[in-house]
A and B are shown apart, each in its own frame.
Chain A
Amino acid sequence: MAEKALVVDVDKCTGCRLCEIFCSFRKTNTCNPARSRINVMKWEEDGINIPFMCQQCEDPLCAQVCPMNAIEKNEESGVIETNYEKCTGCKMCVIVCPVGGVTFDPIEKKMIWCDLCDGDPLCVKVCPTNAISFVKLVTVGPARKRSALEKLFSSIKISNEPVELK
């Protein structure tokens, strides 16, 4: 089963934060972005909104550093899983994660990560602009090359005619 990932198209994000509220709702039945596994980072004075979440590292530092071996990357699904029976709440995973993918749920007082909703991520479904997609990782690089080339060629002229790749 090819590993899939959440991919964000920054230009499409309107900053509505529906992904956050539905994530918290799905996981906790309450509405609370502090309990969401996805957070939208904003640079308001530049109009930039970026939803971000655990990147499901191939070699997760959180798993390496956990003194209770409570964290494991599932080999089949690629999802990082936590055994909360073993977890002591030492927060080393929060400290070591280079992207802030692990956050602290202030109500249940435990560390939380995106777990891709059992392969059917809700944030993807509720995003009004399809800014988040859930795609096979192997396709991400080629897709980006493609859109980069379209942008590049729109500013190049061959024989005085602009080239349009669509």
Chain B
Amino acid sequence: MPTKWYGWAGTILDVDLTDRKLKKIPLSRELAKKYIGGSGLMSHILYNEVGPEINPLSSENLIMIGQGPLSGTIVPSSGRYQIYARSPLTGTIGRSNGGGFFGPEMKWAGYDLIVVRGASEKPIYLWIDDEDVELRDGSHLWGKDTWETQRIIREELGDHNIQTLKIGPAGENLCFSSCVIGDLSRAAGKNSIGAVWGLKKLKAIAIRGSKGVNIARPDELLELSMKLTERAKQDPLYELHTTLGSPSWVTDPLTNVNPQLREITTAKFKNKFDKNMACWGCHLHCSHWYTVKEGRYKGTKGEGLEGNAILFANIHPRIYDSAFTCTYNTLCNKLGLHIDHPGSAIRWAMDLYENGIITKADTDGLELTWGNEEAALTLTKNMAHREGFGAVLDGYPLRASEQIGRGSDRFVSHVKGNIQGWSGVVFSLEWTLGLAVATRGSDHLIGAPWVTTPGFFPKEMPTKYLEKLGRERYGDSESISNAWKVSPLKAKFVYDYENLMAICDSTGVCKFMSEYTLFTEGIHLNDFASLLSATTGENFSSEDLIKAAEREFLTERSYNCRAGMGRDDDYPTAFNWERRKGEPHPLYEGKLPITVKEYDSVLEEYYELRGFDRKTGLPTEKKLKDLGLEDIAKDLKKKKIIE
């Protein structure tokens, strides 16, 4: 007698591309309660099924797409989904997150998780129409950009309301800079997961759902959802975020810190942003529809922009033109490129060129001087097609600098092989720590508090405000307002923040509606507990959620350590260099606000909080057992990773 599911759909779709077999597996309620869904569930599965002996660019790697029990419901901003695989870029757990419209459609079609294994010989796409699932020929889509792919799929299946995930040429060419694109602009970007799709010849997944999702306690959920939506409006950053989106709290605040960046604030984009756009079910509508109406890039149109676009298309290569940003953003989305990646790689190449480490002989004759728009565009296209110097750059950070040699590693920024900005030791200690300990490599989206960075919002969140937050949360008025205070509270801040972000990713809710952006009035952990209980009918407390989050991090940590990683991989660029080479990083010597030793002291506090060994950073058997992860403890002991 099947149990009725509330919140969760109750089914996992398992697709084997080699055997062309499709299976529907009932979701285990025990697993659902333990891991919640989304990132929590997929970390668990990836640990069990894709070990360190599996080459990420092989058919044995898995692709998983999952949302969570709150996805596709009236819970505010519940439209996100995760895509997992072992990362070809870093060899770590590969996790990426997307918005838009695919996630909810997946829930309404009746699936909590889609697992894709094996590989197809010829390009295919997966078509999921409620319970009818089909593998369809995708050869006519191969080589097409992401916009055209969606267009063709909808026409061919005769339904404009079909939602799609797809790779562009970058994923097809197994680029490290590739991503998966939902809709026209929603990038599941990090960790080069597009390349795994390309390897499997999975061009796209198309989905349509009409089954909907059941709610256990509708009246309660309605009240909670309305309350949270109203409360969000009280947040100091609500106004900025809902009008100008993430650039207003990414790139604009940086100008408070570095006045040189004033050339590329959101004000420059106002004549290109035609209207606000939203992801599914979200009242924050922080995206925009943009059109460039004059000048060299007249005719550019698309959706965006995140602060990243400006960081990596403008600030990194020093191209201070807002029409270029829009054009670059659309280009990356169509090619299926993770915009951070080519932006970082081109910055690195320009650093090398300007410093005489590479010349035109290396760069296909391109002059990689700061601000060269033509060169940036050409190189980006070449990266997606792995052509010429673009092929070298696609290997940024580590593979590319190894290939070039000549001291080019001096200009590389990375954590665990994932791209990072600059020294990594910037903004605040909590930012630095969170970025560096993240399981998928340098990560600004999981453990790195951003909007509370002192100095970013002198008007909306002045020092006194940050002091109040620090007192309320940690009993210390300096814990947040003093960016570089070397204190165990900084580790606690990262630990708490990571836990909350993990719950967002396990439930399918957007972090921008949580403390990532709406730090004061967004959805907090206790709100998630109430939302989950009312939606699913299962009782969740804040403590349950903290445990679930700890489980997720311990699983991912174990995954990485099983693949040979440890403490040495938890350092930002500048400190990584110093530890490995025994001397300060040449570019940052004397410029860093803290020392390695000071960082170390906070890192060890973080390890303690997470239940990792203080010295090695490896998971401890005790913590694994406390969280019901005995299988992982056994596995790690068998492999001599832990005693």
Residues of B with C-beta under 8 A to A45: 147, 151, 184, 301
How far is A17 from B77 in the complex, measured between Cα atoms in Å? Answer: 11
Which candidate, B274-282, B379-387, B546-554, is the interface stretch facing chain A? Answer: B274-282
* B288 shortest CB reach to chain A, Å: 9
The answer to whether B212 and A35 touch across the interface, beta carbons within 8 angstroms, is yes
- A50 sits at the interface (CB 8 A): no
| Given A21-B74, A22-B74, also A16-B215 (CB < 8 A) | no
* B183 shortest CB reach to chain A, Å: 7
* B229 shortest CB reach to chain A, Å: 8
How far is A14 from B242 in the complex, measured between Cα atoms in Å? Answer: 11
Pick from B101, B160, B285: contact of A128, CB below 8 A.
B285
How far is A111 from B163 in the complex, measured between Cα atoms in Å? Answer: 24
| Given A31-B215, A45-B184, also A21-B281 (CB < 8 A) | yes
Q: Mark A20-32, 1 if CB is under 8 A from B, else 0.
A: 0110110011111
- A34 sits at the interface (CB 8 A): yes
Q: Mark B216-257, 1 if CB is under 8 A from A, else 0.
A: 001000100000000000000000001000000000000000
Residues of B with C-beta under 8 A to A46: 301
Residues of B with C-beta under 8 A to A129: 276, 285
The answer to whether B278 and A14 touch across the interface, beta carbons within 8 angstroms, is yes
| Given A25-B222, A47-B289, A47-B301, also A33-B108 (CB < 8 A) | yes
The answer to whether B211 and A14 touch across the interface, beta carbons within 8 angstroms, is no
Question: In chain A, residues 30-49, which have Cβ atoms closer than 8 Å to a Cβ of chain B?
Answer: 30-35, 41-42, 44-47, 49
The residue of chain B having its C-beta at the shortest distance from the C-beta of A35 within the complex is: B212
The answer to whether A16 and B283 touch across the interface, beta carbons within 8 angstroms, is yes
How far is A31 from B242 in the complex, measured between Cα atoms in Å? Answer: 25
* B100 shortest CB reach to chain A, Å: 10
The answer to whether B183 and A47 touch across the interface, beta carbons within 8 angstroms, is no
- A60 sits at the interface (CB 8 A): no
Residues of A with C-beta under 8 A to B214: 30
| Given A18-B283, A47-B289, also A34-B212 (CB < 8 A) | yes
Question: In chain B, residues 51-74, which have Cβ atoms closer than 8 Å to a Cβ of chain A?
Answer: 72-74
How far is A106 from B210 in the complex, measured between Cα atoms in Å? Answer: 7
- A11 sits at the interface (CB 8 A): yes
The residue of chain A having its C-beta at the shortest distance from the C-beta of B242 within the complex is: A128
How far is A41 from B303 in the complex, measured between Cα atoms in Å? Answer: 17
Residues of A with C-beta under 8 A to B151: 45
Residues of A with C-beta under 8 A to B218: 25, 29
- A121 sits at the interface (CB 8 A): no
Residues of A with C-beta under 8 A to B281: 16-18, 21
- A107 sits at the interface (CB 8 A): yes
Residues of A with C-beta under 8 A to B285: 14, 16, 128-129
- A78 sits at the interface (CB 8 A): no
Residues of B with C-beta under 8 A to A16: 278-283, 285
- B435 sits at the interface (CB 8 A): no
| Given A22-B74, A128-B285, also A30-B278 (CB < 8 A) | no
How far is A45 from B183 in the complex, measured between Cα atoms in Å? Answer: 10
Question: In chain B, residues 255-281, which have Cβ atoms closer than 8 Å to a Cβ of chain A?
Answer: 274-281
How far is A32 from B222 in the complex, measured between Cα atoms in Å? Answer: 15
* B271 shortest CB reach to chain A, Å: 15
* A143 shortest CB reach to chain B, Å: 20
* A15 shortest CB reach to chain B, Å: 6
The answer to whether B212 and A107 touch across the interface, beta carbons within 8 angstroms, is yes
Pick from A25, A34, A47, A107: contact of B74, CB below 8 A.
A25
Residues of A with C-beta under 8 A to B215: 25, 29-31
* B127 shortest CB reach to chain A, Å: 18
How far is A29 from B534 in the complex, measured between Cα atoms in Å? Answer: 13
How far is A30 from B6 in the complex, measured between Cα atoms in Å? Answer: 10
Q: Mark B273-309, 1 if CB is under 8 A from A, else 0.
A: 0111111111111000101000000000101000000
The answer to whether A31 and B72 touch across the interface, beta carbons within 8 angstroms, is yes
The answer to whether B213 and A14 touch across the interface, beta carbons within 8 angstroms, is no
* B122 shortest CB reach to chain A, Å: 28
The answer to whether B277 and A14 touch across the interface, beta carbons within 8 angstroms, is yes
Residues of B with C-beta under 8 A to A41: 160
Residues of B with C-beta under 8 A to A24: 212
Residues of B with C-beta under 8 A to A17: 101, 280-281
How far is A46 from B160 in the complex, measured between Cα atoms in Å? Answer: 14
How far is A5 from B500 in the complex, measured between Cα atoms in Å? Answer: 43
Question: In chain B, residues 172-194, which have Cβ atoms closer than 8 Å to a Cβ of chain A?
Answer: 183-184
The answer to whether A30 and B213 touch across the interface, beta carbons within 8 angstroms, is yes
The answer to whether B73 and A31 touch across the interface, beta carbons within 8 angstroms, is yes
Residues of B with C-beta under 8 A to A11: 275
Residues of B with C-beta under 8 A to A107: 211-212
Question: In chain B, residues 569-609, which have Cβ atoms closer than 8 Å to a Cβ of chain A?
Answer: none
The answer to whether A47 and B73 touch across the interface, beta carbons within 8 angstroms, is no
Residues of A with C-beta under 8 A to B211: 32, 34, 106-107
How far is A11 from B108 in the complex, measured between Cα atoms in Å? Answer: 28
The residue of chain B having its C-beta at the shortest distance from the C-beta of A22 within the complex is: B74
The answer to whether B274 and A30 touch across the interface, beta carbons within 8 angstroms, is no
**In the A-B complex, the 9 residue pairs with the closest CB atoms:** A32-B212, A47-B289, A16-B278, A34-B210, A128-B283, A14-B285, A14-B278, A29-B218, A31-B73
Q: List 7 A-B contacts (CB under 8 A).
A: A17-B101, A21-B73, A32-B213, A34-B209, A44-B303, A45-B147, A47-B274
